[in-house]
Structure 1
Amino acid sequence: MKKRLLALTLVLCMIFSLLAACGGDDTQADAVIYDYDYDLSEYIKIGEYKGIEYTPQELAVKEGDTVSVSYVGKIDGEEFEGGTGTNNNLVIGSGSFIDGFESGLVGAKAGEVRELNLAFPDPYENNPELAGMPVVFTATINSINGYTDEDEMNKAEIWQKYYDSCEVIKYPQKELDGMKEQQREYYESLAAAYGTDFDELLSAMSMTAEDFDAQIEEYAKSMIAQDMALYALARAEGIEADEESIEEAKQYVLEAQGVETEEELRDNYGIDFDDPSLANSIEMNAILQKTLDFLLENAEKAEPAE
C-alpha cells in the first residue's frame, strides 16, 4: 500500500468537512453513514498489528519544528498592545519573532511554560516605539509538530507501520460515492462563502472539472482505506466505542471548532451531536483512539542504537 503520512485524528477531516458544508443549509444531500457494516475481508487484507516495533522519541522543541505557542509579553510588568498571542503556529528558526524568542523555546516540552527575558531590536521597524526596550515573554508550548506528548508520536509511528502493511482489495461503492459527494458539497459551500460559483472556484484553483474529480476520488480512496484498516482491526479485537471515549471525542470536536457547548456548535454550524453523520464520525474517532491505545500496548520498543 502506498505510504501516506497519517494524522492521529484522520477521521476528523470528515467531521470538519461535514461542519463546513452544513451551516444550516437544508439543501445538503442525505449523508452517507460510514459504518462499513459488512464483511471487510472482501475489501481489505489487514497486516500484522501485534508486536510492531517502534522507536520511542523525545518530544522536545528543536530547530525546524512547528510549535503551537501562546504567549504574553510585558514591559515594566505591564502587557502591551500586540504582545499577546494564542495558539500561534511558529517554525523554530524562521526568524518570525525577535531574537531570543525562538531559540529560548528549544528544548521545551509540550505544556511547558518558559519565561524569556529579551529586548526588542534597535532599530525596530515593526514598532519604532518599542525599539531597544526590554521585554519579558511568558510562553506556553501547546504542541510540537501537532503532538502534545510522546505517546501520540509513538502511536503515529505504529499506526503508519500497521496501515502500510494492509492491502486494499477493492473499494466499497457506497462509501466511495458518498465521500466524493461530501467533498463536492464542501467545495460548493466554499465557493458560495466567497460569493462565487463552483466553476469559478475551480478556475481560481487552476483546476479543470476532470482534475477535481480525480483529486476527490484519490482523497476518498485514501480516507476509505484508512477507515477500513481501522474497522477491520477493531472488529478483529472486539474494540468498540464506549460512553467515555464518545464524550472525549465530542469534547475534541467542540475544542477544535472553538466552542464550549453543543448549543454553540448548533448556533454556529446548524448541527448538533444528534445529527447521524456527525454522531457516526464521532463514534469512528472514539474507536480510532481506543485502537491506537491497543496498538501501543501491544507494540515492542526498539532497542536504542549503540
Structure 2
Amino acid sequence: MKRKAAVMLLLMTLGAASVSGCGKNNTTSSSSVSSASSKSASSASDASSAGSTSSDSTASEEYASPSDVDGIPVVDEEVDPAECVTLGDYKKLTLEKKVEQVTDDDVQTAIMAETAVTMDDPDATVQKGDTADIAYVGKVDGKEFDGGSSDSYNLVIGSGTFIDGFEDGVIGMKTGETKDLNLKFPDSYQSTDLAGKDVVFTVTVNAFTRPAENIDGWELDDAWVAKNTDYSTVEEYRAGKRAELEAANETTAENNLQDDAMKQVADSCTFTKIPKSYVTLGEEDYDKRYTSYLQNYGISLDDYLEQYADRATYNQEKATYAGTMAKSALLLDAVKEAEGWTTDDQDYQQILNDEAANANMSQEDFLKAANDYYGEDTVVRNIMMERMINMVLDNATVNTVTVDADGNTVK
C-alpha cells in the first residue's frame, strides 16, 4: 500500500519526519529528541507573544561543532554506517493510528471562523472575541527591546496571548487609533531581562474583524450561504465543512503515525559513534534554511545575527539541529545499506515520478530544479526517507482508533 510520507520532497527537510529518540547508545539510555525541524528559520519572524525574547545563554558566540550528540561521540573519520548503528527490528512494529473525531462544535467553530466580517464602520470599536490586526512597539526604560515590535500581528482579543492588560487595553480602540499601554511584565516572565519590568507598548489598530455571530441581526441561512460560499444551503455547507475537517484530521493522524513509527525505529537502534560529516550536513542545512528564509526580507544571515538575534542562542540551536539531523541521516543510511537500496530501484523511481507529477513537471525538469536549489544529496536523502517510512508502515501492524480532542479513545 502506498502512503504519502510526511517528508515531502519539495519541503526538503530531512528532520521533518521527526526521526526522534535515537538516543540509545553505549553510555546513555533511550531519550526522545525533538524533530530537527523544530528550530527552523521561522523563528526569525516576530515573536508570537508581545515582548517575548530568547532565554539567556551561556554559550560562546563563536560556534563550536558538537563533539558528541546525546553522549554519542562524533569522530573525524568516515565510518561505514553499519559500524555506527545497530538496527533493531524495524519491520515488525505495532502502531496505533489515532484519528480525532469531528464534532458539531468543531464544525460550528470552523464555520464561524470563515464568517468573520471586517468592521468598516469608523465608529466601531474592538471588543472581546474580535481579531485585531495591530502594530506595536514595546519599550522598557524608553528603549525598544528584541521581540517587542511588529508592523502587523493578528491578535484574538481575549485569547490571553499577550501579557496581562495588553488585550484589555486594545478593547475599545478604533481602526487607525494609536494608544500607549502602560503595563508590567510578570515576575515569572521567560526573559529574565524583562521579568518584573515596567513596559510601554505603543499600539495601533490597523484593522479588525468580528465573528458574524457576534453581529446583531446576522443569521447563518441559505441565502447567506448561497451568496458567500460554494454551497447552496446551510446543510450542504455544514456537510462540506465536516468533510474538510475530517480530511485534515486524517492527514494529521497519518503524519503522527509516521512520526511514531520513526521514533520506534530510532528507539530500537543503538549508536556507538557519529562521523563528523553527518554533523556538518546538519550545520550547513541549518545555515542554508535561515539564509533562504531571510532572503525574503533582504537580510543576510550575518546581518541578522549582528542586528536582530542572539548569536549564542543561534549557535546552540544550530548545534542541536545538527546533532538531531546527523542521527536521522545516519539511521537512514544504515537502513538503506541494510536493504541494499539504490537510486536505480523501482521504488525509488516511483517516488521520484510521483513527486514530479505532483509538481506538474517532467522527472528531468523536476530533478534539475530540485538539484539546483537544494543539492542532489538532499534530494536523494528525502526520497530515501520517504521510501523508508513507506517500508516501515507497510510492514507494521496498524490499529486505527477514533479519539476525542484530549486523545481519549471514543467508544
Q: Shorter-chain TM-score category?
A: 0.5 to 0.7
Paired position in structure 2 for 1:236: 338
- Verify: 1:292 aligned to 2:395, yes or no: no
Q: Quick one: structure 1 residues 289 and 279, their matched pair in 2 at CA, closer, same or farther if it must change by over 3 Å?
A: same
Paired position in structure 2 for 1:41: 82
Q: Aligned partners of 1:179 and 1:64: how far apart in 2? A: 43
Q: Aligned partners of 2:346 and 2:325: how far apart in 1? A: 25
Q: Deviations over 1:260-294 (max 9, x none)?
A: 3269978xxx9625549543333323322332233
Residue 222 of structure 1: CA displacement? 0.9
SS at match of 2:82: helix
Q: Deviations over 1:10-44 (max 9, x none)?
A: 77315999xx9xxxxxxxxxxxxxxxx85113322
Structure-to-structure mapping, 1:60-75, within 5 angstroms:
61=102
- Verify: 1:53 aligned to 2:121, yes or no: no
Q: Quick one: structure 1 residues 209 and 52, their matched pair in 2 at CA, closer, same or farther if it must change by over 3 Å?
A: same
* Alignment RMSD (CA, Å): 4.8
Structure-to-structure mapping, 1:245-284, within 5 angstroms:
245-249=348-352, 251-252=354-355, 255=358, 259-261=359-361, 272-273=369-370, 275=372, 278-284=375-381
Q: Aligned partners of 2:96 and 2:103: how far apart in 1? A: 18
State the AA in 2 paired with 1:196.
I
Match of 1:226 among 328, 333, 344: 328
Contact 1:62 1:92 in 2 (8 A): no
Q: Quick one: structure 1 residues 202 and 216, their matched pair in 2 at CA, closer, same or farther if it must change by over 3 Å?
A: same
Paired position in structure 2 for 1:144: 248
Q: Aligned partners of 2:300 and 2:277: how far apart in 1? A: 27
Residue 58 of structure 1: CA displacement? 4.2
Q: Aligned partners of 2:105 and 2:329: how far apart in 1? A: 31
SS at match of 2:113: coil
Structure 2: unaligned runs, 5 residues or longer: 17-36, 42-77, 117-210, 226-230, 232-236, 402-408
- Verify: 1:9 aligned to 2:7, yes or no: yes
Match of 2:317 among 188, 211, 215: 215
Q: Aligned partners of 2:388 and 2:305: how far apart in 1? A: 38
Residue 225 of structure 1: CA displacement? 1.0
Identical aligned pairs, as a percentage? 18
Q: Aligned partners of 1:213 and 1:52: how far apart in 2? A: 36
Larger Rg: 2
Contact 1:155 1:296 in 2 (8 A): yes
State the AA in 1 paired with 2:326.
I
Contact 1:272 1:278 in 2 (8 A): no
Paired position in structure 1 for 2:113: 96
Q: Quick one: structure 1 residues 57 and 244, their matched pair in 2 at CA, closer, same or farther if it must change by over 3 Å?
A: same
State the AA in 2 paired with 1:260.
N
Residue 187 of structure 1: CA displacement? 2.1
Contact 2:94 2:397 in 1 (8 A): yes
State the AA in 2 paired with 1:144.
A
Q: Aligned partners of 2:108 and 2:84: how far apart in 1? A: 41
Structure 1: unaligned runs, 5 residues or longer: 1-6, 21-36, 66-89, 100-119
Q: Aligned partners of 1:222 and 1:91: how far apart in 2? A: 40
Q: Quick one: structure 1 residues 210 and 149, their matched pair in 2 at CA, closer, same or farther if it must change by over 3 Å?
A: closer
Q: Aligned partners of 1:121 and 1:294: how far apart in 2? A: 48
How many residue pairs get aligned? The number is 228
Match of 2:283 among 162, 173, 180: 180
State the AA in 2 paired with 1:8.
A
- Verify: 1:171 aligned to 2:171, yes or no: no
Q: Aligned partners of 2:259 and 2:105: how far apart in 1? A: 19
Q: Aligned partners of 1:91 and 1:160: how far apart in 2? A: 35
Q: Quick one: structure 1 residues 96 and 247, their matched pair in 2 at CA, closer, same or farther if it must change by over 3 Å?
A: same
Residue 232 of structure 1: CA displacement? 1.2
State the AA in 2 paired with 1:147.
T
